Structure 1
Amino acid sequence: MTKFSQYNFRDEINESLKDIGFDEPTEVQEAVISLINKRKDIIVQSETGSGKTHAFLLPIMNAITPDQQVQTVIATPSRELAYQIYNDTKDILKNFSSEYQASIFVGGADRDRQKKKLSSSQPQIVIGTPGRIWDLIRDNYLRVDTASRFVVDEADMTLDMGFLDDVEHISSKMPDTVEMMVFSATIPQKLEPFLKKYMNAPKKVEIKTGSVTAKNVENWLISTKGKDKNKLIYQLLTIGSPYLALIFANTKSSVDDIHSYLRGQGLKVAKIHGGLTPRERKRVMKQIENMEYQYVVATDLAARGIDITGISHVINAEIPDDLDFFIHRVGRTGRNKLSGIAITLYRPGEENKIDAIEKLGIMFAPKDLRKDEIVDVQERDRRQNRNASQEKLEPKLVGFVKKQKNKKKPGYKKKIKQAITTERKRKTRINNRQEAKQDRVRRKENNNHR
């Protein structure tokens, strides 16, 4: 079994690893550290929570020198993730002399103060969001022409959030010999042109776990059956007594609604989404880290950029349109080999979304809430209900199908299939509108009783 002591890291790093309790490298760290030491361009695809951050931090910090110039730039798409990497860096730097510095540059922070700091000295390690890093480079305050390493963390999220142009601008100001490292949970096809343009014969590392989520995470599936979703979430939280629960919704308004309801029931609950100011988000994150909150409601911003220790439960209040987000949400729990429970709620008419998630390799355990108790239910219930709903066609559509079958003209089967698909989509839209209307009515009633 490999130990960190076998890597011949400098004494300062070994002391820091001992202080934070790191003894053995994870699979991705074992695969990547030696490649970075050999100055290879790398593309690393590994699941959330696999230890990617220290996979690049440790060899980078082992090689930095006291020279007061930028040696490494680490770009990440969210402020929260930038602060997480910055804090991890400081944990390792604490046994180094004061000559070694890391600085964080993110949007929302005082730009003038950052410029003043850079005017006096350049840090060896730069960590930040692509937009702010590029602003400081463009204004000639941050010098990256001396950098020998460039890390793009959460590359797929960088692409999704529209920061890839800023990353390209940053790359263009670096030496041609810069060692580039790209880390991501997924490698979208749209990212390929960037990788080909800026990377030199990169070594690809893909850590396959055999499962898209950690084996120590239970995935529960619960149908709302038209019930009040907020009330259902409240019951799940109060029945299970989670150590720390993270509830995900797709939009800021949904987060606000769930947050407001849970607070109205007397729970101390935090919320995180893009509508909060940077200062508010930083304050809330600090409170969560200090265990001032047991429940957190968030958008997918949190799923891809925040590493909160000790999350025992994840609740998907809504199924995300992008199923990659589902994987990242569930990846918030079950970390560091601890057990976790991920609960996914789905509405009538969303059975196809569940099927799509199952095709990713997720194994759901169907559950139901009965008399304030979570009980097992048969998987066939959902499939039979889905099949039954698919077989019940409108009389008008039944007549159309019969007519097409009698005619048996070329392509008639395709026409029948298209007509049935269109009808099902129409029914799903109607069900979704009715569900949304019922949610609005319930919210109004709840507000009137507060």
Structure 2
Amino acid sequence: MKFTAFNFKSYINETLDAIGFTEPTEVQEKLIPIVLSGRDLVGESKTGSGKTHTFLLPIFQNLDLSKNEVQAVITAPSRELATQIYHAAQEFTKFNDEIRISNFVGGTDKARQIKKLEQNQPHIVIGTPGRIHDLIGSNSLLVYTAKTFVVDEADMTLDMGFLTDVDRIASSFGKQVQMLVFSATIPQKLQPFLKKYLHNPMMEKIANHAVIADTIENWLISTKGVSRNDLILRITKIINPYMCMIFANTKGRVDEIHHFLVSNGLKVAKIHGDVPPRERKRIMNSIRNLDYQYVVATDIAARGIDIEGVSHIINDEIPQDLTFFVHRVGRSGRNGLTGTAITLYAPSDDAAIREIEKMNVKFIPKAIKNGEIVDSYDRDRRENRTKKQDTLSTTTLGALAKAKKRKHVKPNYKRAIKWAVEEENKKKRRAARNKDNRKKRDSRKQTF
């Protein structure tokens, strides 16, 4: 299927050609017709599946430029994500300069925004819930005329505590507004909001054929006996990435990694909630200009920003919320490009790794030797040895258990137990060989 099948307006098709979009993603192919029909929608699909243009394209198709009023409002839970949507929307104004789009986010000049709104209302409003609600509350932003309200990254909006603001914004619209809710997951706590504002919505979940793109390799590197900072530094000296994002679980840990890498001569950017808005904006512009080869970030950045050309991901730790693992790794391997995600792990992380593996993620064990990243042993090898040991006789296993419990035993008792285990294993190996030899002899007899 091609985008031309949707019969979009000419400037939309020109924009799609200019940005190199010819075929819709699975999400776009399935959901754009629903959005164009005017129905409320809850769209659930993985990060990086093309949700942004799934709602932008119908919004532009339905714009009435003869009306000097707000026609669509889009909320996003972070400044970076709102700005990302704004930049995507701005592409369409290059082929139709009558369209007015405004980006209202925290950390920007509110008084200046109010003054601009006194002159003209934008056709499309994009921004963070808090700032949009403030502008509505001051009667500066008039959204009651809007025909479409989009809540993007709804689960992240809920997690960050912005759903109350979104609720207040939703109450500002008329009854005819079309509600579109997009999210990677639909948590139970989001249900009351959906029931309150959406009318007979289409509930569409796009199945993840592969949770993580098959162009991404997932490597596991053990931290046993090694400083995580030193390990990350050693990795950076080996991989030579086009762009590498390093994820940590806390803002303090981001600061620590950033300071360590910078002190070792690397040019590294850092992004987390405590970085001032102006500084974050400057950093994002520098990242887009490829001034940095490394970016250290918290999980909010994994959902809140989209950096092109990420070739490598380093997980300093496994995230406490395992769904964030997918969001982190999904920063790489976009648009069919290859990527490598390197996860540092300790023995205590084994349960979390097994849970991630249930999401069809295949880890490849690796280690650093002689300045190279090489294949390593399966982390389950100790468990496999235990399973083999469990085939020992009940008598031998009982003796082993007693030997472990006793603090004081007779001389050579443990050595005798060890010898008994070895002898029993020898007998089993000998029996297996004999059985195998008998099969071979029988096979030769049948042949002749």
Structures share fold, TM-score greater than 0.5: yes
Q: Identify the residue that residue 340 of structure 2 maps to in structure 1.
A: 341
Structure 2 matches for 1:22-171, cutoff 5 A? 22-66=21-65, 67-98=67-98, 100-171=99-170
Could you say if the C-alpha distance between residues 383 and 101 of structure 1 is closer, same or farther in structure 2, counting changes exceeding 3 Å? farther
CA distance in 2, matches of 1:341, 1:213: 11
- One-letter code of the match for 1:105? F
How big is the shift at 1:223? 0.9
Report Cα offsets for 1:80-121 as digits up to 9, x if no partner. 0000000000011211133x1000100101110111111111
How big is the shift at 1:247? 0.2
Report Cα offsets for 1:289-340 as digits up to 9, x if no partner. 0111111111112100111000000110011111111111011001111111
Q: Does residue 354 in structure 1 map to residue 353 in structure 2? A: yes
CA distance in 1, matches of 2:293, 2:260: 16
Structure 2 matches for 1:278-317, cutoff 5 A? 278-317=277-316
- One-letter code of the match for 2:89? T
Report Cα offsets for 1:124-157 as digits up to 9, x if no partner. 1000000110111111111111011000000000
- One-letter code of the match for 2:188? Q
How big is the shift at 1:367? 1.0
Contact kept? 1:311, 1:333, Cα under 8 Å: yes
Q: Identify the residue that residue 423 of structure 1 maps to in structure 2.
A: none
Indicate the SS of the match to 2:307. Answer: coil
CA distance in 2, matches of 1:383, 1:15: 59
Q: CA RMSD in A?
A: 2.0
Contact kept? 1:212, 1:362, Cα under 8 Å: yes
Indicate the SS of the match to 1:349. Answer: helix
Report Cα offsets for 1:181-232 as digits up to 9, x if no partner. 1111111111111111111111122111322111111111111113011111
CA distance in 2, matches of 1:88, 1:382: 48
Contact kept? 1:314, 1:330, Cα under 8 Å: yes
Q: Identify the residue that residue 180 of structure 1 maps to in structure 2.
A: 179
- One-letter code of the match for 1:269? V
Bigger drift between 316-325 and 356-365 goes to 356-365
Aligned residue pairs total 393
Could you say if the C-alpha distance between residues 332 and 382 of structure 1 is closer, same or farther in structure 2, counting changes exceeding 3 Å? farther
TM-score, normalised to structure 1, is 0.84
CA distance in 2, matches of 1:135, 1:245: 37
CA distance in 2, matches of 1:363, 1:208: 19
Indicate the SS of the match to 1:320. Answer: coil
Could you say if the C-alpha distance between residues 386 and 166 of structure 1 is closer, same or farther in structure 2, counting changes exceeding 3 Å? farther
CA distance in 1, matches of 2:278, 2:206: 36
CA distance in 2, matches of 1:253, 1:270: 15
Report Cα offsets for 1:239-281 as digits up to 9, x if no partner. 1111100000011111111111111111111111111100000
Q: Identify the residue that residue 324 of structure 2 maps to in structure 1.
A: 325
TM-score, normalised to structure 2, is 0.85
Could you say if the C-alpha distance between residues 88 and 267 of structure 1 is closer, same or farther in structure 2, counting changes exceeding 3 Å? same
How big is the shift at 1:360? 2.5
CA distance in 1, matches of 2:300, 2:333: 19
Contact kept? 2:365, 2:379, Cα under 8 Å: no
Indicate the SS of the match to 1:142. Answer: coil
Q: Does residue 206 in structure 1 map to residue 197 in structure 2? A: no
Contact kept? 2:41, 2:204, Cα under 8 Å: yes
Could you say if the C-alpha distance between residues 387 and 184 of structure 1 is closer, same or farther in structure 2, counting changes exceeding 3 Å? farther
Bigger drift between 132-141 and 370-379 goes to 370-379
- One-letter code of the match for 2:254? V
- One-letter code of the match for 1:110? D
How big is the shift at 1:384? 2.6
Structure 1 regions of 5+ residues with no counterpart? 400-450
- One-letter code of the match for 2:75? A
Identity, % of aligned positions: 57
- One-letter code of the match for 2:265? G
Indicate the SS of the match to 1:162. Answer: coil
Report Cα offsets for 1:401-435 as digits up to 9, x if no partner. xxxxxxxxxxxxxxxxxxxxxxxxxxxxxxxxxxx
CA distance in 2, matches of 1:300, 1:279: 20
How big is the shift at 1:381? 4.1
Q: Identify the residue that residue 362 of structure 2 maps to in structure 1.
A: 363
CA distance in 2, matches of 1:306, 1:219: 22
Q: Identify the residue that residue 228 of structure 2 maps to in structure 1.
A: 229
CA distance in 1, matches of 2:189, 2:385: 35
User: After TM superposition, what 4+ stretches of structure 1 lie above 3 angstroms from structure 2?
Assistant: 380-383, 385-388
